Structure 1
């Protein structure tokens, strides 16, 4: 996704398009907090995701500059995925969401 940075509009819809969906946040969380992973390790970390969906989501994240894919010239081929600098830049947002959730979970619910 090409992001238009010239607009003064709120960037939230653009950001949500980049990280939205059922699996992208889970993939990013693993790569940001646990570091570089191979495809199979990501599958084990998200057992509910299909191979096809993981491939699609990784391609989307790579296209948007949040994930880096490195292919090693060996037999069998070795491929590793890691968060880019832009991807790692989302770490504070993940921490804030966690903090928000913990606060919400401990507070009494309004009727």
Structure 2
């Protein structure tokens, strides 16, 4: 299984990469939505992408919308992982095509439970 971690924080990318690696994912990292789209365009085919909302260049919501507009990327499971906790943001992200929404700070268990619920891991 492959995962794409999209976050402008190097620390957050490291935390999520460690967690996903422990769950047997190969991880590709991107510092913003534009880098993530470039990785997809270059051939990365993640089973899941964990996407921050607030990033420079291209934010996570725009990235999710662009993924959903491209038939080649529609099968990527998208999980927003963000500090944005407003109900309207959650609704907006899910309406744009995110499958799940996790609010930072999170525990490893929360991410693992979401991945299990999405059928990406068995525990």
- TM-score normalised according to structure 1 size: 0.28
More helix by share: 1
More strand by share: 2
Greater RCO, 1 or 2 (C-alpha within 8 Å, sep 6+)? 1
